Chains A and B, each alone.
Chain A
Amino acid sequence: MTTTVVRNEGPAAVEPTPTVGSHVRDYWSRVRGGDIGALPAILGLVVLCTVFAIMRPSFLTAGNFANLFTQGAAVTLIAMGLIFVLLLGEIDLSAGFASGVCAAILANVATKLGYPWYVAVLAAIVTGVVIGTVLGFLVTKIGIPSFVVTLAGFLAFQGIVLMLISGGSNIAVNDSTLVAIANRNLPPVVGWLLAAVAVGGYAAAQLLRHRKRLSRGLVTDPIAVVLGRIGALALILGVAVFILNQERSRNVLVSSLKGVPIVVPVIAVLLILWTFVLHRTSYGRHVYAVGGNKEAARRAGINVDRIRISVFVICSAMAAVGGIVAASRANSVDPNTGGSNVLLYAVGAAVIGGTSLFGGKGRVLDAVLGGAVVAVIDNGMGLMGYTAGVKYVVTGVVLLLAASVDALSRRRSAVSGTR
């Protein structure tokens, strides 16, 4: 009988060993087939940075580079959690104010009650977990659409923030450790050390995987591509650490300001943690499965309800982390913490980074790439002296653009069958 693709011999797994050329061609055909991944975010980042650098030379200074990280940190962290919810095709509109509630809890525990910083952080994260559990329960067990549940949460949490900080005023965050998260830097040596550890760890993981697959006779990426990836990471981290280790202080005699902001390794560790969870554990596999085809997942024996509740828990817990960073950066918590544009920036970051609003497609790295784009727009337009109004409009347009790219590439891949 006939087979669609007849090979001369051998089992299914015997494929021609990929070369660098075929690897590039494969990638290009995937992109053309609609699987564009993070390409728009990276291109957008390059274009935006070039434009801002030409218009405002101060954009390219080491000081502003460091600012980008601290400005984008909270949004990026919230977006990381949102990606889990988006992977299931759900949405969490309450993530912004959930981060506000958690920040208010943090400030109350640390400042008003005077507990040490770790108790306050724990309390904030537990609050996030509780919020997520409630949201997840309402969506999964009661069956209310997540849009409605989290829209209700959006309103209610806004009120809870007001109540927690007893109307209008704000609560200062003075604890030196908490303030350090978003305001202090690592000593330059430690920055280099962490970068070296990161590159070394990545190289070890990649090479080990390569060798293991080779020894099992499985198809591997060409070694040149593997080495290229490691080299690219080393280059990016090296340049970033080098720039951040430059002196950024206006007056060195008064105070020295250099080194990697502490929030950067915080983001990096969470990025690695959640990437590991999504791609290397069966829990992560099941998240993708439920996002791709809920019925197939159910028939495969996956507890779909548990997965659905868990993503809301992760999302709200990450919102808590984002809230802690926001409180640290502002040195205080006020009624607007986690409010205004935070949520939409976070959703925008995830979508701009390449996570699909239709579920089933996305990576935690998307939050970092998209968060960088959002931070660059916000920062660059601020430097150019545009008002908040213009910034909102531009960010809204960029979000719309990203969502259109998502929808169009989805349509394209439906045609070429490579979603």
Chain B
Amino acid sequence: MSTTPLLELRGIDKSFGPVQVLRDVALTAHAGEVTALVGDNGAGKSTLVKCISGIYPADDGQFLFDGSPVSIHSPREAAALGIEVVYQDLALCDNLDIVQNMFLGREKRSGIVLDEPTMEQMAAETLAALSVRSVKSLRQHVSSLSGGQRQTVAIAKAVLWNSRLVILDEPTAALGVAQTAQVLELVRRLADNGLAVVLISHNMNDVFAISDRIAALYLGQMVAQVRTTDITHAQVVELITAGRSGALGLADANAGSAGNGTGSTDTISGAVR
């Protein structure tokens, strides 16, 4: 959509001791689009997300946010820029209700007293803007919610703060069919509302259902970032498992030595060339 990406990463390197986890990674995320970040376990997806959200400092590389260079050293700085991460788990307190969870750590106050009516109203407006109708009461404890409803609350929590980039880490991994559909619809709606969305997923059906672009990580390198319409399911699987697919991906054939997973794809790259 827009020409300047909201977030642009260039040449990100990250090592943990002798292990280089990210190597010269580039990634762009555009406002109004869902960018799917795919890759096998250990490809560096989570590390990349943690670099973006300020949990890990990147060793080298450039962050451009809205076209201007920024450096992110802590989750608070990321939040100040409007970057929010929705984690797969561990993000909500069971013993608090929906409103309390959405405002956790950033409560609205008047004086020293919590301003409950304002918080409840803002929470209701946010959920309404996302067309969430599946929760019975905002004062319900999170423990009484289903997996999909919890994910919905977690996502609503992320968009409450006029965030501009929302990163979702496997939002549908633990959900059933109906709830997955519900959450995917919500993710799509975030992008349609003008946010940049980065979606980490292992599920190719999810990725093809809602993403506009696909970025594939392979052993710490960004092997391709292409429009979803320009690529096939099979090609994505090849990129994930072998790091290359026909003209896409790593030029080197030496990466193929690690691509023992190609057998499982059962497809040939030539089919779409």
Give the CA-CA distance A1 to B185 in the complex, in Å. 8
Judge if A218 is at the interface, Cβ distance under 8 Å. yes
Residues 115-138 of A contacting B (Cβ, < 8 Å): none
Is A288 within 8 A of B96, CB to CB? yes
Give the CA-CA distance A297 to B178 in the complex, in Å. 29
Binds A, one of B26-34, B39-47, B84-92, B218-226: B84-92
Nearest-neighbor residue (CB-CB) of B149 within chain A: A4
Residues of B within 8 A of A219 (CB): 137-139
Is A299 within 8 A of B75, CB to CB? yes
Partner among B91, B113, B137 whose Cβ is within 8 Å of the Cβ of A296 = B91
CB distance from B138 to the nearest CB of A (A): 6
Is B124 within 8 A of A417, CB to CB? no
Judge if B120 is at the interface, Cβ distance under 8 Å. yes
Residues of B within 8 A of A282 (CB): 107, 109, 114
Partner among A7, A218, A280, A413 whose Cβ is within 8 Å of the Cβ of B133 = A7
Summed over the interface, the residue pairs from A and B with CB atoms below 8 Å come to a total of 132
Known: A3-B134, A282-B114. A302 touches B146 (CB 8 A): no
Partner among A5, A7, A11, A413 whose Cβ is within 8 Å of the Cβ of B124 = A11
Known: A12-B135, A302-B104. A295 touches B95 (CB 8 A): no
Is A4 within 8 A of B148, CB to CB? yes
Is A296 within 8 A of B104, CB to CB? yes
Judge if B59 is at the interface, Cβ distance under 8 Å. no
Is A218 within 8 A of B143, CB to CB? no
Is A297 within 8 A of B105, CB to CB? yes
Judge if A340 is at the interface, Cβ distance under 8 Å. no
Judge if A113 is at the interface, Cβ distance under 8 Å. no
Give the CA-CA distance A150 to B114 in the complex, in Å. 33
Residues of B within 8 A of A10 (CB): 128, 133
Give the CA-CA distance A413 to B144 in the complex, in Å. 9
Question: What per-residue 1/0 map shows which CB atoms of B106-149 lie under 8 Å from chain A?
Answer: 11010011100100110111011000111111110101111011
Judge if B182 is at the interface, Cβ distance under 8 Å. yes
Judge if B76 is at the interface, Cβ distance under 8 Å. yes
Residues of B within 8 A of A3 (CB): 133-134, 182
Residues of B within 8 A of A416 (CB): 144
Residues of B within 8 A of A295 (CB): 90
Give the CA-CA distance A361 to B95 in the complex, in Å. 7
Partner among A5, A6, A281, A292 whose Cβ is within 8 Å of the Cβ of B95 = A292
Residues of B within 8 A of A289 (CB): 93, 96, 100, 104-105
CB distance from A12 to the nearest CB of B (A): 4
Give the CA-CA distance A213 to B138 in the complex, in Å. 14
Is B143 within 8 A of A281, CB to CB? no
Residues 92-133 of A contacting B (Cβ, < 8 Å): none
How many chain A residues touch B (Cβ–Cβ < 8 Å)? 42
Is A300 within 8 A of B185, CB to CB? no
Is A299 within 8 A of B87, CB to CB? yes
Give the CA-CA distance A406 to B122 in the complex, in Å. 35
Judge if A249 is at the interface, Cβ distance under 8 Å. no
Judge if B181 is at the interface, Cβ distance under 8 Å. yes
Residues of A within 8 A of B114 (CB): 280-282, 285
Nearest-neighbor residue (CB-CB) of B90 within chain A: A295
Known: A2-B178, A216-B117, A297-B93. A419 touches B135 (CB 8 A): no
Is B95 within 8 A of A212, CB to CB? no
Judge if B24 is at the interface, Cβ distance under 8 Å. no
Nearest-neighbor residue (CB-CB) of A15 within chain B: B137
Is A419 within 8 A of B94, CB to CB? yes
Partner among B100, B127, B139 whose Cβ is within 8 Å of the Cβ of A11 = B127
Residues 143-187 of B contacting A (Cβ, < 8 Å): 143-146, 148-149, 178-179, 181-182, 185
Partner among A4, A12, A216, A296 whose Cβ is within 8 Å of the Cβ of B92 = A296
Nearest-neighbor residue (CB-CB) of A6 within chain B: B133
Q: Which residues on A are within 8 Å of B, measured CB to CB?
A: 1-7, 10-13, 15, 212-213, 216-219, 280-282, 285-286, 288-289, 291-293, 295-297, 299-302, 360-361, 413, 416-419
- Closest 6 A-B residue pairs measured CB to CB? A11-B128, A300-B105, A13-B124, A292-B93, A292-B95, A360-B95
Given contacts A285-B107, A297-B93, A301-B106, 17 further A-B contacts (CB under 8 A): A4-B179, A5-B136, A11-B127, A11-B128, A13-B128, A216-B117, A218-B120, A282-B114, A289-B93, A292-B95, A293-B95, A296-B92, A299-B87, A360-B95, A417-B145, A418-B143, A419-B94
A-B contact pairs, 23 of them (CB 8 A): A1-B182, A4-B182, A5-B135, A11-B124, A11-B128, A12-B124, A12-B127, A15-B136, A216-B121, A218-B117, A280-B114, A281-B114, A285-B96, A289-B104, A292-B94, A292-B96, A296-B104, A299-B91, A302-B104, A360-B95, A417-B143, A417-B144, A419-B95
